[in-house]
Structure 1
Amino acid sequence: MDDIAHTNFTFEYCFPDNNASCKKEVQTGPAYIFLFIVLSFISVCTVFLNLLVIISISHYKQLHTPTNLIILSLAVADFLVGLIVMPGNIMQLMDSCWYLGNVACSIFPLMTSLSMFASLYSLVLIAVDRYIAVSDPLLYPSRVTVSKMSICITLGWSFCLIYIIIIMHFSDHLISTQLYATCYGECVLVMKHSLLIFDFMVSFLTPCSVILILYGLIFKVAKRQAKAIRNVTNGASQKQANVSGSSQNKAAKKLSFVIFVYLSCWIPFYFSSISVENVTTSSMVWTVFGWLMFFNSSMNPIIYAIFYQWFRVSAKHIMTCRIFETSSSRFNLFSDHV
């Protein structure tokens, strides 16, 4: 707190040659320098981890499966968060100015919303995919194919884009980028309370409910399958039953962690945003809880990729440049000797 109290604020102009320029609040205290370093590190890690996932799934033919296509979609969305959304917010947080012009001011919130909504949509698809795989494992290969999943992902991203454009239109941001700006060099998006309620229903409550219901069903099916295995096993195969039960417990713990991280990152923003009249991109609600949602994009590659052997092996190949070897796309990523 002492660091923040002694923070130095130097007032300059964002555009000194423009009489209508906003004042630039340069925050140079130790606390803000530390914050800048931490947020920049999170941004770099988000880009790096998701880029590893994108390269791995795109390059290695062994990873061209329906489930991995969803993880690829998730990684692309989270990559955009780390590459575009986080740096843009860091820039505004550090000196409060927008240097990229009106067009970029219109596009930036659209890219922010699209990447985060697409990330959330990918989480829903993963839940659906896992439910089908657990509830009907024998018919899963025929019901869920690479081509069908590609169509679902494309339609999902298209829906996200159309929805975000409609929301931005009704918030007047795409019509007049300076509608809520008080001076030149300011880029502010204001979400009206009525739109926040609607967005809360579409962008959070509905997908959250779908994810929770599906994972609840997955737990129920897994528990039923584990009980069925125990009932049909005898003393000779008890060890196999224990292994299967252990596998089910690990899967349950992983799903529990997925739900916990997802809710922890998204609930604070939406519940705080609907409690105020309007939310602007310069408000404390967006600054604090918005970054918590961004942080979810850093956690996703850890949850959905680093837990798996194929990611560790492929990441090792990429960082040691083995990916450039002839026929590297056909490497076996599921063997200890690759």
Structure 2
Amino acid sequence: MSNKSVFCKTFIKQDDFDYICAEKVNFIVFIAGIFFVIFIILTVVGNSLVILAIFKDKRLRTPSNYLILSLAVTDLIVGLITVPWRAFQDLRDYGTWPYGALLCDLRVVIDRLCVDASIFHLLAIAIDRFLCVTSVRYSVSRNGKRIALMVGVVWFAAFLLAIAAFAGWRDDKYEERIAQDICFVSTAFSLNLTVLLVIFTIPVILMTILYIRVYQIAKKNIRYKPGNSSDASSTNHSQNQNIESSVGNQNESKVSFSASESSESAAADIKVQRQKPVTIEIKRNTKKFNPNDRREKKVARTLFIITACVILCWFPFFTYYALTSIFDVKFASDSNFFFNGSLWLGYLNSLLNPIIYAATNTYYRDAFKKILKIK
């Protein structure tokens, strides 16, 4: 039976197969072709806008956005190479692979590299945000070089996993599958388990935990609204200040000041045992408050949405992957339709990321409008 017949049977009942198969296939291919073209255009344009926005808008040139820049490059590669290649395979060859082992290897490496890098980028972003709100030392030392190192580690780890199958994990039935026009590098249990755990399960669990903690910290600190750090007399926001002074002799001088929430009244309690030149140290009890906590909360919410989108997009594919590759579950003959559908749902994540940025971040939205010359 031809590949077209197999493809057709995915959508058509057996009793109708003989006389409407060709017409149905042509119609399905036409509709799918339109969908794929729109999909590719939106993915490429959206991620190109993200890249251009970061380069053109100074407000977006921050360490966090450099990670998003690298993620956008990954998604752009998906839109330029992975998705068109897969669309061509599905439309022309109906999911088969008649192009030999070399191109199969290349396609698998690029496909897996992009998927791995995309998820690892999101994990790196989650780690970066968590460290920013929990470690002052990290926030101070966080710069372009450190982010570049993080990006390098992400791509290196993704590349190692992408070529893992060709470094000893390829099984002995690979050539047989290629002869049957099937591009699937390895069915080795160890490889499949590693892919499932390292690429999806562990990163998703870590991202979820980290973003929940970031959101909790930001939500807790948002109650403490600091005044202008350059204006010591400003009491427009709720704060506690302690002013302590000490001298190196036997005598002590102590000054304590307590400011209420109201900007119109204050109470002072000053106790000085001996008048001498004193050194005054001002300490603000802000419970490690970051002046940008409100923004951090918004950023955390945005990135949590992105993470949730990754989970929703890739969960069906990795579920199918786990059931078939690890637990050896057998599905019906039309299971390829579910496989292809879940794979395209995963690719959808690369299209949605720029939309999420525009919907949740004013800076990105303004930059997109400026690039597109939309008022």
Partner-residue secondary structure (3-state), 2:178 = coil
Q: CA 1:245–1:114 in structure 2 vs 1: closer, same or farther (change >3 Å)?
A: closer
Larger radius of gyration: 2
Partner-residue secondary structure (3-state), 1:274 = helix
Per-residue CA deviation, residues 44-67 of structure 1 (Å, 9 max, x unaligned), is 111111111122223455533211
- Structure 2 gaps of 5+ residues are 1-7, 226-236, 240-259, 265-291, 330-334
What is aligned with 1:199?
195
Q: How far apart, CA to CA, are the structure 2 residues paired with 1:172 and 1:251?
A: 42
Q: How far apart, CA to CA, are the structure 1 residues paired with 2:109 and 2:24?
A: 27
Q: CA 1:219–1:64 in structure 2 vs 1: closer, same or farther (change >3 Å)?
A: closer
Partner-residue secondary structure (3-state), 1:234 = coil
Q: CA shift at 1:116, angstroms?
A: 1.1
Q: CA 1:261–1:310 in structure 2 vs 1: closer, same or farther (change >3 Å)?
A: same
Q: How far apart, CA to CA, are the structure 2 residues paired with 1:103 and 1:258?
A: 35
Equivalenced residues, count: 297
Higher relative contact order (CA 8 A, sep 6+): 1
| Contact residue 117 and residue 158 of structure 2 kept, 8 A | yes
| Contact residue 357 and residue 365 of structure 2 kept, 8 A | no
Give TM-score scaled by structure 2 length.
0.67
Q: CA 1:246–1:214 in structure 2 vs 1: closer, same or farther (change >3 Å)?
A: closer
Q: CA shift at 1:236, angstroms?
A: 5.7
Q: How far apart, CA to CA, are the structure 1 residues paired with 2:295 and 2:365?
A: 20
Letter in 2 for 1:103: L
What is aligned with 1:304?
357
Q: CA shift at 1:4, angstroms?
A: 3.8
What is aligned with 1:169?
167
Q: How far apart, CA to CA, are the structure 2 residues paired with 1:125 and 1:315?
A: 25
What is aligned with 1:23?
none
Give the ranges of 4+ consecutive aligned residues of structure 1 lying more than 6 Å apart after TM superposition: 244-249
Letter in 1 for 2:302: K
Letter in 2 for 1:41: I
Q: 2:152 aligns with which of 139, 147, 154?
A: 154
Q: CA 1:188–1:309 in structure 2 vs 1: closer, same or farther (change >3 Å)?
A: same
- Structure 1 gaps of 5+ residues are 11-25, 238-243, 322-335
| Contact residue 27 and residue 94 of structure 1 kept, 8 A | no
Query: Are 2:142 and 1:89 aligned?
Result: no
Q: 1:283 aligns with which of 329, 332, 336?
A: 336
Counting only pairs closer than 5 Å after superposition, residues 160-239 of structure 1 correspond to structure 2 as 160-172=158-170, 178-183=175-180, 187-229=183-225, 232=239, 234=261
Counting only pairs closer than 5 Å after superposition, residues 318-337 of structure 1 correspond to structure 2 as 318-320=371-373
| Contact residue 71 and residue 304 of structure 1 kept, 8 A | no
Q: How far apart, CA to CA, are the structure 2 residues paired with 1:28 and 1:92?
A: 15
Q: CA 1:117–1:248 in structure 2 vs 1: closer, same or farther (change >3 Å)?
A: closer
How many percent of aligned residue pairs carry the same amino acid?
25
What is aligned with 1:112?
111
Partner-residue secondary structure (3-state), 1:276 = helix
Q: How far apart, CA to CA, are the structure 2 residues paired with 1:67 and 1:259?
A: 15
Q: How far apart, CA to CA, are the structure 2 residues paired with 1:186 and 1:271?
A: 21
| Contact residue 193 and residue 274 of structure 1 kept, 8 A | no
Q: 1:49 aligns with which of 15, 26, 46?
A: 46
